[in-house]
Amino acid sequence: MLDTIDQSFSFSKSFVGGLALGCFLAWYAGRLAYNVFLHPLSKFPGPKLAAATRWYEGYFDLLVGQGGQYMYEVDRIHQKYGAIVRIGPNELHVKDVEYYDTLYALGVKRNKVPYMIDIFGTTLSIFGTEKHELHRSRRMVLNPFFSKRSVTRLESVIQEKVRLLCDTMSACKDRRQVIQLRDAFTASTVDITTEYSFAQCANTLAQPDFSPEWDQMVRGVTEIVPLARQFPGIIQITRALPISFVKVFNPLSAKYSEFERLIRGQVSEIFASYSSSEEEFSVIGTEKPAYARSIFHEVLNSKAPKHEKTVDHMTQEALSVVAAASETTSSTLATTIFHVLSNAQIRDRLKAELKEAMEGPRSLIEWRRLEQLPYLAMKEGLRITVPVCGRLPLVSPSPLQYKEWTIPAGAYIGMCPRDALHNPAIYPSPLTFNPSRWLTNDPAEKKVMDLAFLPFNKGSRMCIGAHLAYANIYHVLSAVFRRFDLELVDTIRERDVDMARDHFGMKPVKESKGIRVRVVGEADI
């Protein structure tokens, strides 16, 4: 009898399990069918598999080649179906530069797509804020700190770190040391960003090898983006695990955790210092020295609610600022220097312009004067690099119109800066590095190029640190090319420079050795 009961119980478990699985499969099949045939976006052109499930994107981003390949599949979809296509169950993509002014317009309500808010594990930061109103209130607190006026006022902080960068590069010349440019520029950007934003420098430039672990940590942040887009919350899980455990399964995720804990330690120190002082600090309109100014004091002195003034909140804000600044700026600087060194005519013309503008090889001039130099290749460097190469989808709470297409409220709509910056109709031979294209005397041509120049996006969701990045890039390029003669070392464009993977920021192939140079000369006059 007991055997009969055991058999009946086993049969019941199998039956219930099979029934549950069958119900799930039926539900999932129904959901796929709904997405393809009944969804409000079902009339938009695109592959049926992309309409059915986000696993279509996951396949290209996680399994094809070295990952991060969905942006190239989106290119193919546009080639086949047109300027507006459906690339996900609830997502459209538009490839039309003129539509930027509609989708990313200032003063209109746009929410962030839910699957994008947690790709860096920073849902408390400006970058990770989903709702338009909360994003606006958070950004208003920090906007004055990152304005062009404020960056100009604290330009001495940038210049100090650029001098230290050049001194460390000079020491590399004496040792005939090969310089990994990503390491060097991540180090300088981290020091500039932490000193400027937190009034507490990370001092990465103090190391003769430019503290390569910082670049590894920053890469750890962006390398997991394709996985995080498919599995929202993966970083929150990683955050809760011991680093030693994470290292076994995903070393880059462990680097991310190390990076976050390092930033959290710095933030905690600043909060402790602030809490122990009765004096308030203010960034704008103060005579206090630069080291006493930081975004933390700006937030703490603001009218933001108390729950926005926590170590968790500011750690995530700091993580976003440092990671975003380091990734975009270092890749742009390294790529620009590669292209300048690869063309002797461009290199010589740029060095001649800088020699005329800057008194001596160790002198630095103001950012406003650097902006007036016609051949300094900052814009062309940003254009060809595409520091933010991934699509940037938003959600409109009201319907939008694209030509004859009515886009329903709540749909995800994205555009990609790469489609503007590498548009051959606007920038002929877009993959050719050509600073002279910006010297055109045709006002109409220049206007079109300027409108399409969107390295940090535009509108209310534009990168808040864009002015700091511009100042950093201008100062580093001018200082390095005014002072040094450089030669490339075992650097191949296809392997080490060109964009091959979308990890929100641009990535070369995994076999890349990086962009490497040697200092072979130093100017005397």
Find the mean pLDDT for residues 485-512.
95
Task: Give the pLDDT of residue 288.
Answer: 44
Residues 463/324, Cβ–Cβ less than 8 Å: yes
- Rounded to whole angstroms, the Cα distance separating 145 from 312 reads 20
Work out whether the CA dihedral 503, 509, 510, 513 comes out positive or negative: negative
Is it the case that residue 283 has pLDDT exceeding 50? no
Task: Give the pLDDT of residue 464.
Answer: 92
Give, for 360, the enclosing helix (H) or strand (E). Answer: none
**Inter-axis angle of helices 155-175 and 466-483, to 10 degrees?**
40
Residues 314/301, Cβ–Cβ less than 8 Å: no
Find the mean pLDDT for residues 490-502.
97
Is it the case that residue 281 has pLDDT exceeding 90? no
Task: Give the pLDDT of residue 290.
Answer: 42
Residue in the structure block whose two tokens are 């455990």: 245
Could you please state the CATH topology (level 3) that the domain comprising 96-388+422-522 is classified under.
Cytochrome p450 (1.10.630)
105: tokens are: 């317009």
**Inter-axis angle of helices 466-483 and 344-357, to 10 degrees?**
100
Pairing of strands 412-414, 91-94: parallel
Q: Which of 379, 400, 410 is CA-nearest to residue 99?
A: 400
Q: Find the largest Cα–Cα distance for the chain.
A: 101
CA 390 to chain centre: 9
- Rounded to whole angstroms, the Cα distance separating 396 from 407 reads 9
Which residues are CB-neighbours of 489 under 8 A, at least 6 positions away? 178, 516, 517, 518
Q: Which of 415, 390, 406, 414 is CA-nearest to residue 44?
A: 406
- Rounded to whole angstroms, the Cα distance separating 195 from 199 reads 5
Task: Give the pLDDT of residue 304.
Answer: 83
> Taking phi first (over 0 means left), then psi (-120 to 50 degrees means alpha), and beta for anything else, what does residue 287 get?
alpha
Confidence of residue 5 (pLDDT cuts 50, 70, 90): low
Worst-scoring range by mean pLDDT, 81-85, 87-91, 293-297, 499-503?
A: 293-297
Find the mean pLDDT for residues 43-49.
98
Find the mean pLDDT for residues 463-481.
96
Worst-scoring range by mean pLDDT, 34-48, 63-77, 189-203?
A: 189-203
Q: Residue 78: exposed, middle, or buried by beta-carbon count in 10 A (0-12, 13-18, 19+)?
A: buried
Task: Give the pLDDT of residue 4.
Answer: 54
Question: What ranges in 154-198 are assigned the alpha helix state H?
Answer: 155-175, 181-198
Q: What are phi and psi of 76, to 5 degrees?
A: -65, -40
Question: Interior CA angle at 153 toward 148 and 156, to 5°?
Answer: 115
- Rounded to whole angstroms, the Cα distance separating 386 from 331 reads 9
495: tokens are: 């392997």
Q: Which of 374, 388, 490 is CA-nearest to residue 436?
A: 374
Task: Give the pLDDT of residue 223.
Answer: 84
Q: Which of 260, 259, 237, 261 is CA-nearest to residue 249?
A: 237
Find the mean pLDDT for residues 118-134.
92
Ordered by start, the domain boundaries in the chain are 96-388+422-522
Task: Give the pLDDT of residue 24.
Answer: 78
Find residue 407's DSSP bridge partners.
400
**Inter-axis angle of helices 466-483 and 311-341, to 10 degrees?**
40
Find the mean pLDDT for residues 158-171.
96
HSE-up of residue 70 (Cα within 13 Å, Cβ side): 24
Pairing of strands 84-88, 91-94: antiparallel
Task: Give the pLDDT of residue 173.
Answer: 92
CB atoms within 10 A of CB 348: 11
> Taking phi first (over 0 means left), then psi (-120 to 50 degrees means alpha), and beta for anything else, what does residue 390 get?
beta
Please tell me which residue, 339 or 34, carries the higher pLDDT value.
339
Task: Give the pLDDT of residue 243.
Answer: 77
514: tokens are: 């990086």
82: tokens are: 């047109």
AA letter at 358: M
CB atoms within 10 A of CB 406: 11
Residue 396 DSSP label: -
Question: What ranges in 199-250 are assigned the alpha helix state H?
Answer: 212-223, 225-230, 234-240, 243-249
Is it the case that residue 279 has pLDDT exceeding 50? no
Task: Give the pLDDT of residue 287.
Answer: 43
Is it the case that residue 282 has pLDDT exceeding 50? no
Check the annotation: does 23 bind a ligand: no
- Rounded to whole angstroms, the Cα distance separating 142 from 317 reads 10
Tens digit of pLDDT for each residue in 367-420? 999 999 999 999 999 999 999 988 999 999 999 999 999 999 999 999 999 999
